[in-house]
């Protein structure tokens, strides 16, 4: 029986994107079933977050995420455009957030189908791997979704028909994320215990191994 793990994920978080590589390797190597649960980024969840944060916070995230990607051989560039509409001079976050709302609701729709990890593994690199300009333009997202077995137009249509349904899924994810004992992303949760950060996957595996997790194909 697969070990269930929740992964709370934001499309604006560089560390969430970087966590996908380790998550893919974990799922390939171990009998683990990961449910990716999309949440809105702190800039949306917590009004004024960046205004109250230490001014060195954002600079360090940029420095650190780039070197993590370089060390791990992960193609990486900050998204253009930013998934969050934000004035980087005043740090004001716009009331209307078309990019992050669409991305997060799409992942929530995939979560309803039980395939949110596969969807996000296909879509997130379009934003973050630097291979395209204007990830939000043309067929970039649609082509990535199609390659993973999703019809992006159909997902968009379902969301447009009943956006509140997908907002409820996101709200449930955010509630359970907070209840786990952490607020940041990516956060993995196993049996109610949070493991925050892409660099805690080994610790998560260690915990699951203490509960009997085996490598795929290992004799019992």
Query: Average pLDDT for consecutive 10-residue bins of the chain (220 residues)?
Result: 96 98 98 98 86 86 97 97 91 93 98 98 98 96 97 98 98 98 96 98 98 84
The pLDDT score that the predictor gives to residue 88 is: 83
In this structure, are strands 32-38 and 193-196 parallel, antiparallel, or unpaired?
unpaired
The pLDDT score that the predictor gives to residue 151 is: 98
Helix (H, G, I), strand (E, B) or coil at 126: helix
The pLDDT score that the predictor gives to residue 109 is: 98
The pLDDT score that the predictor gives to residue 67 is: 98
The pLDDT score that the predictor gives to residue 54 is: 85
Quote the tokens at residue 204.
């998560």
Give the separation between CA 17 and CA 11, rounded to whole angstroms: 7
The pLDDT score that the predictor gives to residue 47 is: 81
The pLDDT score that the predictor gives to residue 58 is: 87
Per residue in 200-217, is it b (16+ CB within 10 Å) or e — as a string?
bbeebbebbeeeebeeee
Q: What's the residue count for the chain?
A: 220
Q: How many CB atoms lie within 10 A of CB 169?
A: 20
The pLDDT score that the predictor gives to residue 209 is: 98
Instruction: Please give the model's pTM, rounded to 2 decimal places.
Output: 0.95
Beta bridge partners of 36: 7
Burial (Cβ within 10 Å: 0-12, 13-18, ≥19) of residue 56: exposed
Structural domains in the chain plus CATH codes: 3-210 (3.40.30.10)
Is residue 99 a contact partner of residue 85, using CB atoms and an 8 Å limit?
Answer: yes
How many Å is the Cα radius of gyration of the chain? 17
What backbone torsions phi and psi does residue 41 show, to the nearest 5 degrees? Answer: -70, 165
Nearest to 201 by CA among 211, 212, 188, 213: 188
Number of H helices, E strands in the chain: 10, 4
Beta bridge partners of 30: 215
The pLDDT score that the predictor gives to residue 125 is: 98
């Amino acid at each position: 029986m697969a070990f269930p793990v929740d992964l709370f994920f934001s499309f604006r978080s560089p560390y969430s994107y970087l966590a996908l590589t380790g998550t893919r390797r974990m799922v390939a190597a171990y009998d683990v079933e990961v449910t990716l649960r999309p949440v809105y980024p702190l800039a949306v969840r917590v009004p004024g977050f960046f205004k109250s944060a230490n001014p060195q916070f954002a600079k360090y995230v940029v420095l650190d995420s780039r070197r993590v990607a370089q060390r791990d051989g992960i193609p990486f560039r900050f998204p253009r455009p930013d998934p969050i509409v934000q004035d980087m001079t005043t740090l004001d976050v716009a009331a209307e957030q078309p990019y992050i709302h669409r991305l997060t609701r799409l992942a929530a729709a995939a979560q309803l189908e039980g395939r949110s990890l596969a969807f996000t593994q296909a879509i997130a690199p379009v934003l973050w791997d630097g291979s395209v300009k204007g990830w939000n333009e043309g067929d970039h997202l649609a082509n990535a979704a199609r390659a993973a077995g999703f019809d992006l137009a159909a997902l968009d249509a379902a969301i447009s028909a009943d956006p509140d349904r997908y907002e409820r899924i996101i709200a449930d994810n955010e509630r359970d994320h907070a209840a786990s004992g952490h607020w940041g992303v990516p956060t993995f949760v196993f049996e109610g215990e949070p493991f925050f950060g892409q660099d805690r996957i080994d610790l998560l595996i260690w915990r699951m191994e203490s509960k009997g997790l085996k490598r795929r194909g290992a004799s019992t």
